[in-house]
Amino acid sequence: MSVTRREFLRVSTGAGTATALGGLLGLGANLAPARARAQELRIRDTTTVPSICPFCSVGCGTLVHVKDGEIVNIEGDPRSPHNQGTLCPKGAAIYQLHYNPNRPTRVLHRAPGATEWEEWDLERAMDRVAELFKQTRDETFIETLEDGKRAMCTTSIFALGGATLDNEFNHICQKLMRGMGVVPIENQARI
C-alpha cells in the first residue's frame, strides 16, 4: 500500500489534533473561558445596537456592534424570543449586505443587442424605468372585461419584492402597484 506525502500529512495532522483535544478534555480542561475571552476581544470597545434581520418575516433579533461609526460584527441576539441568539445562514451573512467587495455600487445598463455594459447615473436609470413602466401600462391597461365588468388592471407588469426589503417598504410597494393596476404582486408584505 503506497501513501502519498499529502495523505500522510493530512492523517497525521488530524490524529495529532484529535489527540491533543482529547487529552485536554480528558484532563478536565474547560475551553469555555477561552472562547468567552476570544468573543470579548472581538467586540471590545464597540457600541452594541439591537436590530432585526431583514431577510424574512420572522424578525430574528440581531446585535450590531459598531466601532467608530463602522459596523464590525453582526450576530444573533440571545434575548430574542424568535431566535434566541441563533441565525440562519442568510441571517448570519447580514454583514455582507454592508461590506462586500463584489456588491454592485453603480447602475449598469446593457442596451438590447449590445455586448457591453454602459454605466448610467441613477437619475437617468430611474427615468428610463418610469418611462418603460408607463409605456407598458398604457399599452396593456384593461378598463373593462369582455362581459362589461370593470377591471382597471394590467397583467403585463409583475412586482417582486426581495427578502432584504423590510415589510414597511414592501407594504408601500404593494399599495403603489395596486394603485397602478398591477395584479401579479409578490413580496413579504403579502396583504
Q: What number of residues does the chain have?
A: 191
Q: Which residue has the cell 501513501?
A: 3
Could you please report the per-residue DSSP string of 22-37?
Answer: HHHHHTT---HHHHHH
Q: Parse the chain into domains and list their residue ranges.
A: 8-42, 45-103, 141-186
Give the pLDDT confidence score for residue 25 in this predicted structure: 66
Query: Per-residue pLDDT tens for 94-133?
Result: 888 888 888 888 899 999 999 999 999 999 999 999 999 9
CA torsion through residues 166, 162, 94, 56, sign: positive
Residue 89 has pLDDT above 60, yes or no: yes
What is the second-level CATH architecture of the domain 45-103?
Answer: 2-Layer Sandwich (3.30)
Mean pLDDT of 74-95: 90
Higher pLDDT, 190 or 127: 127
Give the pLDDT confidence score for residue 172 in this predicted structure: 86
Residue 191 has pLDDT above 60, yes or no: no
Joined together, the cell numbers standing for residue 154 give 394590467
Query: Per-residue pLDDT tens for 139-181?
Result: 999 999 999 999 999 989 998 877 666 667 778 888 999 999 9
Query: Per-residue pLDDT tens for 12-37?
Result: 888 778 777 776 666 666 667 766 66
Higher pLDDT, 57 or 146: 146
Give the pLDDT confidence score for residue 142 in this predicted structure: 95
